[in-house]
């Protein structure tokens, strides 16, 4: 790697460890839902460390952090910037790499460019997107930037704990009107690139250093609510009940056999089930199932929504109770842009890293960015393919490879002549 600008590996690894401590729970996982106390503390730590490094941190209307280098931007601040970044919120009992790797590597790359006073043709900015994991809405921060929300939509959002987004956001100093006004116009970002762990087993299994993401799946989801009747658990005969939980169970168990009808790559997950009123001796009056479904092709994901809706309606009819379907707008599949993919490949080759093209079954803010700017993603191996779990692990060497490939990619996207920006760094 000599001759190429590289990240400060020790600093990046130390940052990952520090960030992994925010929200660390007794099971060894990370609980850091967006706008939780742990998330706010992590954001404050990140902001302070950027400011200490001489970088500027701005918070946009929805809560995305935008990090820049004022000195590097002198004379070029009005040019469309290259964006890089990820998220630092986590799924419940999640790991310490999903999101933090791409966020901290983005900041580390910017810090290195800043330290070395690298002359750029356009600004490089590091973005930390808010609520990627959908405590309130999947890809919230990037959706606000690319498709936009109206304030009424934001008013409706509720968190996993049932809290209203509007209340939590206001308590954190947010303003819904400002949140609804952050929309970007196509062309306002020159290009976008995100580093992320693979979250699957392919790269490790094949011994490949870096995945060049070819495209990101289409994702749909929402809430299916069965409404039955509350009755006494001891006195109501089994054939006289309208048990909403049984309807939900019937619906859920039909899905694995049903979804392959939209294609073998279909996946469906029902990770949240809620029953009301929630008494062990009360037949459930209401059962809510939160559904997540995905397919690499948008039309197939749309077909999945139809199949799942039909199954819910069949169950309600057969069991003689009511059902309500509340689907969120489908996030379309996003092919990654050839220009960015080529820059990633060139950067990896210059570092001697092997690459392969790889699709992403996970959702990422990059799929929203792809609707307004040429976008790409860099994957690095996940040990045993584990993710969304405390077992999530990416080896230090892969962390550093990924960050160095990101830095080389940024130089290619932000400098007219990348060779002129390379130099001995240490």
Which residues would be at the binding site for ligand GLV (CB under 6 A)?
133, 362-363
Q: How far is the CB of 210 from ligand GLV (least distance, A)?
A: 20
CB of 401 to Mn ion, least distance (A): 18
Q: Is 209 in the site for Mn ion (CB under 5 A)?
A: no
Q: How far is the CB of 195 from Mn ion (least distance, A)?
A: 11
Q: Residue 89 Cβ, how far from ligand GLV at the closest point, in Å? A: 10
**Among ligand GLV, Mn ion, none, residue 99 binds (CB under 5-8 Å by kind):** Mn ion
Closest CA to 369 of 220, 213, 209: 213
| Cβ closest to ligand GLV, residue 268 vs residue 362 | 362
Rank residues 39 and 98 by Cβ distance to Mn ion and give the closer one: 98
Contacted by 363, from Mn ion, ligand GLV, none: CB < 5 to 8 Å by type: ligand GLV
Residues numbered 56 to 115 that lie near Mn ion (CB under 5 A) are 98-99
Shortest Å, Cβ 297 to Mn ion: 21
196 or 225: CB nearest Mn ion: 196
> Considering CB distances under 5 to 8 angstroms, the limit depending on partner class, which of Mn ion, ligand GLV, none binds residue 323?
none
Between residues 133 and 204, which has the closer beta carbon with respect to ligand GLV?
133
332 binds, among ligand GLV, Mn ion, none (CB under 5 to 8 A by kind): none
**Given the complex with ligand GLV, which of 84 and 218 has the nearer CB atom?**
218
Residue 296 vs 363, nearer CB to ligand GLV: 363
Residues that bind Mn ion (CB under 5 A): 98-99
């Amino acid at each position: 790697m000599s001759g190429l600008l590289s990240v400060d590996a020790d600093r990046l690894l130390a940052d990952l460890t520090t960030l992994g401590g925010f929200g660390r729970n007794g099971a060894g996982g990370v609980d850091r839902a967006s706008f939780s106390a742990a998330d706010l503390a992590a954001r404050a730590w990140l902001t302070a460390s950027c400011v200490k490094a001489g970088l500027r941190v701005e918070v946009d209307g929805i809560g995305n952090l935008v990090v820049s280098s004022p000195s590097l931007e002198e004379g070029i601040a009005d040019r469309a910037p290259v964006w890089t970044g990820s998220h630092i919120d986590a799924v419940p009992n999640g790991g310490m790499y999903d999101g933090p790797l791409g966020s901290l590597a983005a900041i580390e790359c910017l810090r290195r460019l800043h330290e070395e006073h690298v002359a750029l043709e356009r600004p490089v900015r590091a973005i930390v997107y808010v609520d990627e994991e959908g405590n309130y809405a999947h890809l919230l921060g990037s959706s606000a930037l690319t498709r936009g929300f109206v304030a009424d939509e934001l008013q409706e959002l509720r968190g996993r704990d049932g809290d209203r987004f509007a209340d939590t956001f206001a308590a954190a100093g947010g303003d819904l009107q400002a949140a609804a006004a952050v929309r970007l116009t196509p062309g306002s970002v020159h290009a976008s690139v995100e580093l992320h762990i693979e979250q699957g087993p392919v790269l490790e299994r094949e011994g490949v250093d870096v995945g060049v993401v070819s495209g990101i799946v289409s994702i749909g989801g929402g809430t299916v609510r069965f409404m039955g009747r509350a009755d006494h658990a001891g006195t109501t005969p089994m054939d006289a009940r309208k048990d909403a939980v049984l309807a939900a169970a019937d619906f859920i168990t039909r899905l694995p056999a049903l979804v392959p009808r939209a294609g073998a790559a279909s996946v469906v997950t029902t990770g949240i089930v809620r029953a009301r009123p929630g008494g062990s001796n009360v037949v459930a009056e209401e059962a809510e199932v939160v559904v997540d479904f995905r397919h690499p092709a948008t039309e197939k994901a749309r077909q999945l929504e139809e199949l799942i809706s039909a199954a819910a309606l069949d169950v309600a009819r057969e069991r003689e109770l009511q059902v309500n379907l509340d689907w969120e707008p489908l996030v379309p599949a996003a092919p990654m842009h050839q220009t960015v993919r080529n820059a990633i490949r060139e950067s990896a080759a210059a570092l001697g890293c092997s690459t392969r093209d790889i699709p992403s079954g996970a959702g990422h803010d990059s799929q929203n960015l792809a609707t307004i700017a040429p976008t790409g993603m860099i994957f690095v191996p996940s040990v045993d393919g584990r993710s969304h779990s405390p077992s999530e692990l990416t080896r230090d060497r892969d962390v550093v490879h990924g960050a160095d490939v990101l830095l080389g990619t940024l130089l290619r996207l932000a400098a007219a002549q990348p060779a002129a920006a390379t130099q001995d760094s240490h």
